[in-house]
Amino acid sequence: MTSVKRPGSGVTSFDVARLAGVSRSAVSRAFTPRASISKDARLKVFDAASQLGYRVNPVARALNQRRTDLVGMIVARMDNPFRASQIDALSRTLVRHGFRPMLFCIDEGLGTEQLLSLLLDYSVSGVVITSDAPPIEICNECARQQIPLVLVDRDDRLPFVDRISGDNVKGGRIAAETLIEAGRHKLVVLSPETAVYSITTRIDAFVACADEQDVPVDVLNVGTHNYEAGRDAAASIAERRHDEIGVFCPSDIIALGLLDALRVKHGIKIPGEMSLIGYDDIPQSGWEFADMTSISQPVASFADGIVGLLTERIANPQTPPRNELLDVMLIRRGTV
């Protein structure tokens, strides 16, 4: 009847209440910050709880509150090391703030929209989206259920959806200025066909800055957003070696493909014959073979910023959409 249950799962607030000699409500209140309960009662509850190994059941709590501690992360792919370290940092920061990160990669037949509505079923505390902007109907549904959405590196202005991104304009301008200062007066910028907001913004800022200084810029279209795209663009770039051009790749993963192929396949000296600057400052850019100048977006700031936007909107759901901009920094290495 009054048998002591084994510590761990199976211990309910009722068991704790009985041992502590209080009502079950008191137990619930003891574990609820700012609840109406006396210091004395709370202490008795904590004592009994640790004695039994009691832990609040988050599922039951979620059913009651209609809200979980879960936060969804929707990501396209993780083959880009920048995304991987971003997710790594975000996951850690979320846990430190008491959230539980879920990871979803978009897949065959499972786009951002499907994954988002799947997350809605779980009454998540929020969703961080680094893939595509979801359709507006879903956003409205999220707003109605007061589920915060944070868009990373996307510019789509949606009702009640917060955005965060690096300062792509500043980054693009720094790239142009750095190349021009290095004496490159013919510029080239690689533009992936599948370019998203952050990429095009960098390119536009780069071109604008070059225009201001009357430096000609070629925009060279490449395939997708990966190493192979940069590598395959090398032949076209190699033709211009005599011009001592300065090349800007709006993403390190592309830049490394280009740099690698230019040196290995075409034997081009960098920065001797041309200069190159990338973006993201992924670890590989610091490797010996590359030693590539790049523009760094600190992943820790991303994580902090994202969680900040989430918690603020949870505290005050009616605030108008915010757009946070993170500072970027030039990392000088050996390709300029």
- The verdict on 95 binding DNA (CB under 7 A) reads no
Told to check if 41 binds DNA by CB under 7 A, we report: yes
> Closest separation between CB of residue 300 and a second copy, Å?
13
Query: Residue 125's binding partner, choosing from a second copy, DNA, none, with beta-carbon cut-off 5 to 8 A by kind?
Result: none
Per-residue tokens: 26: 């008191």
Applying CB under 8 A, the span of 33-41, 90-98, 152-160, 315-323 interacting with a second copy comes to 90-98
What's the closest the beta carbon of residue 255 comes to DNA, in angstroms? 50
Phi and psi at residue 108, in whole multiples of 5°? -45, 115
**Region for 102 from its dihedrals, namely left if φ exceeds 0, alpha if ψ lies in -120 to 50, beta otherwise:** beta
Binding to a second copy (CB under 8 A) within 149-188 occurs at none
Among 5, 7, 38, 334, binds DNA (CB under 7 A): 38
What is the closest distance, in whole angstroms, from the C-beta atom of residue 21 to DNA in the complex? Answer: 7
Residues 45-84 that bind DNA (CB under 7 A): 54, 56-57, 60-61, 63-66
Q: Does 77 bind a second copy (CB under 8 A)?
A: yes
Distance of CA 333 to the CA centre of its chain: 25
Count the residues of the shown chain that bind a second copy, applying the rule CB under 8 A.
57
Q: Tell me how far, at minimum, the Cβ of 296 lies from DNA, in Å.
A: 42
Judged by CB under 7 A, does residue 194 bind DNA? Answer: no
Judged by CB under 8 A, which of 63, 219, 235, 300 binds a second copy?
Answer: 63
Does 92 contact a second copy by CB under 8 A? yes
Question: One symbol per residue from 9 to 48: x for binding a second copy (CB under 8 A), - otherwise; what is it?
Answer: x---------------------------------------
Q: Does residue 105 belong to the site contacting a second copy (CB under 8 A)?
A: yes
Which residue's CB is nearer to a second copy, number 31 or number 206? 31
Is 229 one of the binding residues for a second copy (CB under 8 A)? no
CA atoms within 13 A on the CB side of 44: 16
Q: What is the 3-state secondary structure (H, E, C) of the chain?
A: CCCCCCCCCCCCHHHHHHHHCCCHHHHHHHCCCCCCCCHHHHHHHHHHHHHHCCCCCHHHHHHHHCCCCEEEEEECCCCCHHHHHHHHHHHHHHHHCCCEEEEEECECCECHHHHHHHHHHCCCCEEEECCCCCCHHHHHHHHHCCCCEEEECCCCCCCCEEEEEECHHHHHHHHHHHHHHCCCCCEEEEEECCCCHHHHHHHHHHHHHHHHCCCCEEEEEECCCCHHHHHHCHHHHHCCHHHCCEEECCCHHHHHHHHHHHHHCCCCCCCCCCEEEEEECCHHHHCCCCCCCEEECCHHHHHHHHHHHHHHHHHCCCCCCCEEEECCEEECCCCC
Q: Tell which positions 277-306 bind a second copy, by CB under 8 A.
A: 283-284, 287-290
Q: Work out how close the CB of 66 gets to DNA at its nearest, in angstroms, rounded to a whole number.
A: 6
Query: Cα torsion at 177, 181, 187, 190 (round to 10°)?
Result: -50
Give the binding site for a second copy (CB under 8 A). 6, 8-9, 55-60, 62-63, 68, 70, 73, 77-79, 81, 84-85, 87-88, 91-92, 95-96, 100-105, 107, 110, 118, 120-123, 141, 144-145, 227, 231, 256-257, 260-261, 263-265, 283-284, 287-290
> Interface residues with DNA (CB under 7 A)?
10, 12-14, 22-29, 31-32, 35-41, 54, 56-57, 60-61, 63-66
